[in-house]
Chain A
């Protein structure tokens, strides 16, 4: 399977969580993740998008990138934030993410203009 990415951009508002899950559901179906993998992808997508909603700057845009590969599906979420650190590992969100996804990374990066961006990545591996 070749690498293939789909990027969606939505306001960081909980109202759009079902939209992100609809995309995740379609990608899971096309990726051969199976039922459990699809449930995991929907859960991880929701948690990544939730983190973006909770930490986003006002009137910003959240970006979710889904990349399919031979290993599985990787989700990378990004949003401008005023936070200087990613969500703490002890939060329910991070603990659930770590239990469901094979790999999780969470960082806050700052660009040359001083703008912070939360970047959260998680991978659901193929069975």
Chain B
């Protein structure tokens, strides 16, 4: 079992989907968005975002979410290692959530109240999303 950038142990490995590869401690590249992906249960995938979600990186995130949406499929989007969660990320999630639902999928956000929840609260939108504070809590809620 491997430990994620967020600190949880939940899968054997993450496949890094973005061109930046795995996250780096290099101060000049740690802002780069790295997105890892793995399956955590039958019909349930986990996507971990590490780095900054801003105007330059949210198009990539949107594309990855849409690409991994399928009918009856749940996508857990772990935002706890996001270093910056801007309004572009909010707009992207608000736009993408209905598309996932329309495609028969379900998007659950994993957020623990630091950077990302403050931004969600700015729009009073946490209730518009499924939000859990850990992968385990999300899986428990889903009955997995």
Cβ-defined contact, A21 with B55, below 8 A: no
Instruction: Verify if A107 is at the interface (C-beta below 8 Å from B).
Output: no
Cβ-defined contact, A95 with B123, below 8 A: yes
Residues of A within 8 A of B68 (CB): none
Instruction: Specify the main secondary structure of chain B where it touches its partner.
Output: mixed
Q: How many A-B residue pairs have CB under 8 A?
A: 65
Cβ-defined contact, B121 with A99, below 8 A: yes
What sequence of 0s and 1s flags, for each residue 18-55 of chain A, a beta carbon within 8 Å of any chain B beta carbon? 10011000000000000000010011001100100110
Instruction: Verify if A91 is at the interface (C-beta below 8 Å from B).
Output: yes
Cβ-defined contact, A92 with B54, below 8 A: no
Cβ-defined contact, B86 with A50, below 8 A: yes
User: Shortest beta-carbon distance, A13 to chain B, in Å?
Assistant: 8
Residues of B within 8 A of A15 (CB): 56
Number of interface residues of B (CB under 8 A): 23
- List the one stretch of B2-10, B87-95, B104-112, B135-143 in contact with chain A: B87-95
Cβ-defined contact, B87 with A93, below 8 A: yes
Given contacts A96-B123, A99-B122, contact A17 B28 (CB under 8 A): no
Cα of A126 to Cα of B115 in the assembled complex, Å: 19
Cβ-defined contact, A17 with B87, below 8 A: no
Contact of A92 among B31, B52, B91, B118 (CB under 8 A): B91
Instruction: Verify if B119 is at the interface (C-beta below 8 Å from A).
Output: yes
Instruction: Verify if A10 is at the interface (C-beta below 8 Å from B).
Output: no
Residues of A within 8 A of B121 (CB): 99
Number of interface residues of A (CB under 8 A): 23
Contact of B86 among A22, A91, A96 (CB under 8 A): A96
User: Shortest beta-carbon distance, A56 to chain B, in Å?
Assistant: 12
Cα of A99 to Cα of B119 in the assembled complex, Å: 8
Cβ-defined contact, A96 with B55, below 8 A: no
Instruction: Verify if A100 is at the interface (C-beta below 8 Å from B).
Output: yes
Residues of A within 8 A of B118 (CB): 99-100
Instruction: Verify if A14 is at the interface (C-beta below 8 Å from B).
Output: yes
Residues of A within 8 A of B31 (CB): 18, 21-22
- A residues with CB within 8 A of B: 14-15, 17-18, 21-22, 39, 42-43, 46-47, 50, 53-54, 91-93, 95-100
Known: A39-B114, A43-B115, A92-B123. 12 other contacts (CB 8 A): A14-B56, A17-B52, A21-B31, A42-B84, A46-B86, A47-B87, A53-B55, A93-B87, A95-B87, A96-B87, A96-B90, A96-B119
- B residues with CB within 8 A of A: 28, 31-32, 52, 54-56, 83-88, 90-91, 94, 114-115, 118-119, 121-123
**What are 12 residue pairs bridging A and B, where the CB atoms are less than 8 Å apart in the complex?**
A17-B56, A18-B32, A18-B56, A22-B31, A42-B83, A43-B115, A47-B86, A95-B123, A96-B123, A97-B87, A99-B121, A99-B122
